[in-house]
Amino acid sequence: MKVDRRSFLGLGIGAAAGIAVSPVGMKLTDDSAIWTQNWPWTPVPVDGEVTYESSVCSLCPGSCGISVRKIDDRPVKIEGLAQHPVNDGGVCLHGIAGLQYLYDPARVKTPLKKNGDKFEEISWDDAIELVAGKLADLRKNGSPEKLACIADKEQGSVSGLFQRLLKTVGSPNFYTMPSLESYLEVTAAALHGEGMTIGFDLENSDFVLSFGAGIIEGWGSPVSCFKANASRKERHAKLYQIESRLSNTAANADKWIPIKPGTEADLALGICAVLLKYNLFDSMVASEFRGGLNKFAIMLQKEYTPSKTAEITGVKASDIEKIATLFAKAKMPVAVFGKGRGDGAQSLKELAAVHTLNCLVGNINKKGGAFVRQKSEYLEFPDVSMDSIADAGFAKNKTGRYVNQLIEKVNKSSKPAVDVLFVYNANPCYSLHDPKSVKQAVGKIPFVVSFSSFLDETAKEADIILPSHTFLERLEDVPSCAGLAKSVVGLTEPVIDPVFDTRHAGDAVLLIAKALEGSVAESFEWETYDECLESVAGGIWDSLSEDGYAIVSEGAPFGSASVNISFLADNPATVQARGDDKLTLIPIDNMRLISAGTAASPFAVKTVSDKVLKGQDIVVEINPLTGKGLKDRGFATLTTPTGTARVMVNFNEGMMPGVIGMVEGLGHTFDNKYVSNKGINVNDLIGPVIESGSGLDAAFGIKAKISKA
Amino acid sequence: MKQENNNAHKFGMVIDLDKCTGCGSCMVSCMSENNVPFKEDESNKKDSITWMSVYKLTNGKSFPDTEIAYLPRPCQHCGGKGDHGHSPCVSVCPAVATDYGYDTGIVSQIYTRCFGCRYCMGACPYHARYFNWWDPKWPEGMENYLSPNVSPRMRGVVEKCSFCYHRYQAARDVAYYEGRDDIEEHEYQTACTTACPSGAIVFGDLNNPAHKIHQIVKPDPHPDPRNKHVIGKSRNPKVFRLLERLGTNPKVYYLSEREWVRKQGDSYLDGEWDKIKNHHGTSSHG
């Protein structure tokens, strides 16, 4: 066959037309797309029956109700629980990402014992025997008070069991990490008396005067605060935010009042002075004041005139008078303390000064005001039995007043001040100021027992780890300790069988107590923690188990509260930041990170802006005026009396000149690459400053300098 | 091509930027609901897959007059010019991997059809589409929390927000089982909507006057007299859409009392904003 030009072209065009019209080409493209994407390693989640289980999130003190969607036995999604008294449906990002903690690469999968620098697996029986043996030795040597325990909180049955164990062993050394609840109690104790706590009725107040409280940055019970804030406009309520940085709360507020960092207490006293001077306070409440209201008033008129206050705080004198007038004239005003999340360092002067505003305008125990009520004691533990060793040990003085003093004592003493340390639900080697010195103290303690679910900074320093279930694997009562107007106890329920060889910390305590025998074991007669909870929660157990929560108190408490003003009347000194440099470094609370001991989840860290974290570099915020000589997005060296760090710079017009902001919650060293080794821990740069009188670590920040790297 | 269906839904969203706190719950709820993976470093936001992304806006003024707002951005589910279903991405997809649902107004994404040409990413004016540069990897055991309702994606495909279409399907299944023709407003809500602790997101059917979103947005069914491609402009002076004048006709609306926030919905020439800002749909239907 002869191929001529005509037939060649004809064939070519024909073939081209044929291919274009034929579906084979398209089909092959489609098929190749499908078949090249069916990789065996792409997971195909198994389908099954859908069920929902209710529980309570205990990642923060907020204690929101959650609904867990399950496919057969697998939890696949956490959502907010509608009609729950704390959060009614909403939920925060950390709670939603809760399932990531179940399978966290840093989880402690079995009890561990330290051998040299390494951890070795150990059986539960051996681990319990070892811990009980150490406690028995302490008792034998007549020094049971050398057992100390650091827990996250005082409330709840698990914390109750730890306190009970310490008491029956014979040690008064039970400590909690600083939290909003602990500050509420300290404030209430100073002004109203021991055993009281404070709640703020934010959802009803028509004028919230916030002294840096990050109402939408995770302060208090976050979702409840979000809701109260969101309904503000409909309720025609106002929010005035006093803060040195334009936080999200400040940006969302009706007015942002920038203030020199660390002078919030002075501003609160300045406002008190205006209220007293112009008789703007509620004259009915004057009779409630003890400890020298006149002395207080005279001190204020001398030391806190608007012009003097303006000089200290940087807030204009006319603004101070205006704020005072608005606050006094509002129907249901409330002043709120607790900078950021409210769990960082605070001074009693600031806490008391702000709360005195509430006392002066007479909003105590009134709708939309501040509620002063008894700490809720909903648990009824049976009496303990203590032998003579326990009696003698328990009667001794605590080694330190707060956890900071404990650490300081341990570091300073040549002989071990503490022989055995229990750490439950707390990560002091990360979340206290100057973690290096905390680690040093923990290192000096001969035997440290961690009950952590994760190999966190403190667990790494432990000699024995008795890993706990995560909140999705355990039963526990969860009191909301977060300045809520109502007092609610939720019930966390297991939504999945334990993923690893972990145990309930409550059960671990029971096992240790039983191994100690004698009077200690007698005080722990329950077979399991679950049985213990059911019996000690007696009064509210029915409600807890049926509804998943119990409301202990709701609405304004009856009656008024007397106010002891003597602490403030003496005009205590305002705590100053450490150092001599011109700039002040302050920590920033960011809703998307967690500042307490737990690291944020991979999902939460993923949402963090590249203006907070870029690669492994932490980004600090600084006003362009202060950052002269520095470059936006450039590197700089940040130096404080406690440490030095290489940081990236972000020019932010929302920063007060002279202030550097660094986010809290980064710089973890867990074995979890998704959340660790990112940025630095701001606590490394800030050392504690103890307020005289109260003993609180009140380092709101530290003096710093920054230069081009 | 014009397909009219009187029973058709037009699912949309209105986000109150004055209530939004930038907390990020919507982002995490979306990732958890839709099996979105995560990797070691997510600080390069160009390759970080976030179907819902929250942008930070500032008014550009210096201390102390600075203001901040947050703007959550899911896929805008554009109706395209004239709202006929020719969304920018749908128009360019050579594989019909993304399509416009005329019964719902939702722009779909079919991962197994996508062969990764990324034309749609170039066409999308909202950066709402993300490419899987790597296969997803979960730490050991974490695959146990994956939901069977949404297929995990593989390397080489584009993904984006689906308005939680699987939730629509589930709600329809329930309605069918119970012998109902249609679903109720509360039965179909996206994961971001239900998660928002501030209640800033309202989701529903823009075609249904009984739905809350319709009452807030008051969409104008007639073309904008200034630009005939724009349909569904809000008659609420506080409501706007992103880059509205492009005529992409997004179904995601934003609400703010603050003028500077509304102005950031588009780029304006000097003086242009003042002419445009008071124009809210046709007056005859107000």
The average pLDDT across A245-254 equals 96
What are the boundaries of each domain within chain B?
A: 11-285
Residue found under tokens 């509804």? A547
CB contact under 8 A, A45 and B194: no
pLDDT exceeds cutoff 60 at A503:
yes
CA distance to partner chain A, nearest, from residue B244 (Å): 26
B2 pLDDT above the threshold of 50: no
End-to-end CA distance of chain B: 29
Where residue B111 falls (left for φ over 0; alpha for ψ -120 to 50; beta otherwise) is: alpha
Q: Pick from B26, B43, B112, B258 the residue to mutate for testing the A interface (most A CBs within 10 Å).
A: B43
Identify the pLDDT of residue A538. Answer: 86
Average pLDDT over residues A123-137: 97
**What pLDDT score does A365 carry?**
94
pLDDT grade for B286, boundaries at 50, 70 and 90? very low
Give residue-wise pLDDT tens across range B141-186: 999 999 999 999 999 999 999 999 999 999 999 999 999 989 999 9
Residues with Cβ within 8 Å of A399's Cβ and at least 6 positions away in sequence, in order, are A145, A148, A173, A405, A406, A409, A410, A417, A418
What does the radius of gyration of chain B's CA atoms come to, in whole angstroms? 19
| Structure confidence at residue B239 as a pLDDT band (50, 70, 90) | very high
Three-state DSSP at A31 gives helix
Domain B11-285 has CATH 3.40.1160.10: no
- Which chain A residues in 5-64 lie under 8 Å from chain B, judged by CB atoms? 29-30, 32-34, 36-39, 41-48
Best interface-test mutation with B: which of A36, A226, A244 has the largest number of B CBs within 10 A?
A226
Task: Flag whether pLDDT at A32 surpasses 80.
Answer: no
Q: What is the nearest CA distance from A590 to chain B, expressed in angstroms?
A: 8
Q: How distant is the Cα of A651 from the closest Cα of chain B, in angstroms?
A: 11
Q: What is the pLDDT, as a whole number, of residue B281?
A: 61
Q: Which of the residue ranges A418-422, B112-116, B176-180 would you say has the lowest mean pLDDT? A: B112-116
Model pLDDT, residue A41: 86
Cβ-Cβ contacts under 8 Å for B204 (sequence gap 6 or more): B11, B12, B185, B211, B212, B213, B214
Q: Is the pLDDT of residue B208 over 70?
A: yes
Whether the pLDDT of residue B271 is over 50: the answer is yes
Size of interface A-B (CB pairs under 8 A): 212
- To the nearest 10°, report the CA torsion of A147, A153, A154, A156: -120
At A234 the pLDDT is 92
Average of pLDDT values for A399-407?
94
Residue B282: predicted pLDDT: 56
Tell me whether residues B32 and A34 touch, CB distance under 8 A: no
Tokens 């998704």 belong to: A674
- How is chain B split among helix, strand and coil, in percent rounded to 5? 25, 15, 60
Distance CA A369, CA A462 (A): 44
Q: Which residues from A are below 8 Å from B144, CB to CB?
A: 74, 103
Q: Does A248 touch chain B (CB under 8 A)?
A: yes
Distance (Å, whole) CA B242 – CA A250? 26
Measured between CB atoms, which of B145, B157, B199 is closest to A230? B199
d(CA A142, CA A157): 28
Residues of A with Cβ-Cβ distance to B141 under 8 angstroms = 102-103, 499
The answer, for A256 touching chain B at a CB cutoff of 8 Å, is yes
What gap in Å lies between CA A452 and CA B210, rounded to an integer? 51
Checking if the pLDDT of B284 tops 50, the result is no
Query: In chain A, what percentage of residues exceed pLDDT 90?
Result: 87
Residue in chain B lying closest to A217 (CA): B23
DSSP bridge pairs for B219: B234
Write the CA distances from A16 to A2, A6, A10, A30, B94, integer angstroms: 21, 15, 10, 20, 20
- Tell me the backbone φ, ψ of residue B219, rounded to 5 degrees: -65, 140
Residue range A250-268, pLDDT digits in tens: 999 999 999 999 999 999 9
When pLDDT is cut at 50, 70 and 90, the band that residue B6 belongs to is low
Put simply, the answer to whether B145 touches A79 (Cβ < 8 Å) is no
pLDDT in tens, A571-608: 999 999 999 999 999 999 999 999 988 999 999 999 99
pLDDT at A285: 86
| Burial environment of residue A9 by CB neighbours within 10 A (0 to 12, 13 to 18, 19 or more) | exposed
* Per-residue pLDDT at A364: 94
Contact A76 B146 (CB under 8 A): yes
- Lowest mean pLDDT segment, chosen from A31-40, A55-64, A697-706, B43-52: A31-40
pLDDT digits (tens, 9 = 90+) for A322-373: 999 999 999 999 999 999 999 999 999 999 999 999 999 999 999 999 999 9
Q: Average pLDDT in the B71-96 region?
A: 95
Does the pLDDT value for residue A38 go beyond 80? no
Q: Which residue of B has its CA nearest to A99?
A: B145
Chain B positions touching A246 (Cβ under 8 A) are 64, 66-68
| pTM for the model | 0.93
Task: Report the pLDDT averaged over residues A35-51.
Answer: 87
Separation between Cα atoms, residue B156 and residue B117, nearest integer Å:
9
CA–CA separation, B66 vs A652, rounded Å? 9
Does the structure show a pLDDT above 90 at A37? no
